[in-house]
Amino acid sequence: MKGFVSSRLHPLVNLILLVGIMLGAFCIAGFFIMVIGHLAFGLGALELGNVTQNPAAYEQGWSFTMLSQGVLLFVGFGCSALALAKVTGNSIPQYFAPRRPVPFWLLLAAGLLILGTIPFMSGLIEWNAKAHFPAFLKDMEASARAMEDKAQELTKYLTRFTSFSRFLIGLLVIAVVPAISEELVFRGVIQRNLVQWFGSRHVGVWVAATIFSAIHFQFFGFVPRLVLGVLLGYLYEWSGNILVPMAAHFTQNAFQLILLYLQQRHVADTFNPDSTESLPWPLVLGSVLLTALLLRGMQRWLAAPVASDEVRLPSEMHTLSSGGAAVARPGSYVPSTGRTLGRAGVDGSHEKSAR
């Protein structure tokens, strides 16, 4: 299918094009949010910013904030990635899942891998949360911590599920939409083009993961999110199907939301997903070993060729002649003279000339 621009653009040009499409998509998403906010919530243009900054002060602040978060992510990220594939004349399945279909059990394995990393991640979270800037950057550190504290307050407000319906909405907006939209952009487009640009899978995975972590603007959670991005990146590189990192990303977010909901219902209080304290070191060490084993096993299985990857050589050769169709099989007589049809008619190419 032919697109508006060439499908053979330099990877850097593709990334610049993605940024341009995302800027336009965010403008469109903002317009939709403004219209829906006025029609569904009765909010004027001047009130939208106030609700976003302090949703707890408004009766419909939670609903409007969740709606705006979901629309911004889906349109600004997900639709932008899909639009880039179409604009460059690519089929969406071929662009985001170019190598192979994946069995359902592999999606489950990706989710289990992420669950296995939770103790290990808790150690990284504690270490990163206690990190400090150099003394001459203490003012910057104070500003960064104030920004993260404010973001944490908003997150706690949005994940305060007073009903099961709110929990389902949170699952959709905080787990499903980010898993789809962010993976399409960061793994499906950014990582793909970085791998092509640098000619290295590893460089592409790590640079894309760095961008993925940095775009969240949370320095004191940068390292755990970087590691998560690396895991998601290798899952995409090995599987060749965007559904695999999507399943892992969804599991990461959904598991935390389920634990929060169960705690709020006083069903489970053993593990606080909002805590920045590490789990006991035996669990952390076991998590590291389990993660390494699972990654190694998945990498070896995904590296094995499948039927669609193999080059199938013909077992028979059919030749059309004046006597009809002749079939040559392994061990059959192979003529020493080939016949080539050219402008002057049939030309006999002898064995000597063929050499």
Give the CA radius of gyration of the chain.
Answer: 27
d(CA 70, CA 62): 12
* DSSP 8-state class, residue 199: T
Q: Of 175, 180, 176, 202, whose CA–CA distance to 191 is shortest?
A: 202
Written as tens digits, the pLDDT of the chain (355 aa) is 566 777 788 999 999 999 999 999 999 999 999 999 888 888 887 788 888 888 888 888 899 999 999 999 999 999 999 999 999 988 898 899 877 678 898 999 999 999 999 999 999 999 998 888 888 888 888 888 888 888 888 888 999 999 999 999 999 999 999 999 999 999 999 999 999 999 999 999 999 999 999 998 888 889 999 999 999 999 999 999 999 999 999 999 999 999 999 988 888 766 777 777 888 999 999 999 999 999 998 888 887 765 544 444 455 555 555 555 555 555 555 455 544 445 555 544 444 444 4
SS3 332: coil
Task: Provide the token pair at 202.
Answer: 């590893």
User: Is beta strand 317-321 parallel, antiparallel or unpaired with respect to 324-328?
Assistant: antiparallel
The answer to whether residues 111 and 294 touch, using CB atoms and an 8 Å cutoff, is no
* DSSP 8-state class, residue 175: I
Dihedral angle computed from the Cα positions of residues 22, 25, 26 and 30, in that order, rounded to the nearest 10 degrees: 180
User: Is beta strand 338-342 parallel, antiparallel or unpaired with respect to 345-349?
Assistant: antiparallel
Q: Of 177, 161, 229, 234, whose CA–CA distance to 201 is shortest?
A: 234
Dihedral angle computed from the Cα positions of residues 147, 149, 155 and 161, in that order, rounded to the nearest 10 degrees: -160
d(CA 153, CA 144): 14
Q: How distant is the alpha carbon of residue 121 from its chain centre?
A: 19
Burial group, residue 95, by CB count within 10 angstroms (0-12, 13-18, 19+): buried
Give residue 163's region: left, alpha or beta (phi > 0; psi -120 to 50).
beta
Helix/strand/coil (H/E/C) assignment for every residue in 203-265:
HHHHHHHHHHHHCCCCHHHHHHHHHHHHHHHHHHHHHCCCHHHHHHHHHHHHHHHHHHHHHHC
Task: Provide the token pair at 76.
Answer: 């600004």
Q: Nearest 5°: CA angle at 154, between 153 and 156?
A: 65
Dihedral angle computed from the Cα positions of residues 247, 252, 255 and 257, in that order, rounded to the nearest 10 degrees: -110
